[in-house]
Structure 1
Amino acid sequence: MTNSVVTWTEYYGLAIAQMRAEGREVGDKLLAHKCPAHSEYVNFFGTINGEVDIELAKLDAADYRPLRPRRPDWP
């Protein structure tokens, strides 16, 4: 669980930085109310299914997976 929360928090920060760099307003007061435990993507069972080599191949030069592109229907 701890690894999931740490990873979620790291990528959440990357996503916020990217949104701000694109000129989107992301207020700190709003971010204070976000919690990784309320995310459907947190794995509470401690197991991850996947091919390690395939997942490692997705990493960029900084060892991060790419962020999902912004959906056109989101504000």
Structure 2
Amino acid sequence: MNEGWNEVGISGGSHLERMVEMYQELGFEVRLEQITPEDRECAKCYEETGETPYRVYVRSKEDARETAEGSER
């Protein structure tokens, strides 16, 4: 899944919303992937608070354009 995406953290709830807003304000594209059952060990604290955890990935809009241009060739 690389295509210029970099994992920047795991988060949930209101903190996740703030992370997404911050990276978007800085000009990044943001991609979220819900934590899978195999990754539940790292997500127990989120489950205890009723939050759904997500892996947060970002990439610059420039990387996105380069990836799109490369796939058109």
TM-score by length of 2: 0.33
Of structures 1 and 2, the one scoring higher in RCO (CA 8 A, sep 6+) is: 2
Whose strand fraction is larger, Structure 1's or Structure 2's? Answer: 2
Whose helix fraction is larger, Structure 1's or Structure 2's? Answer: 2
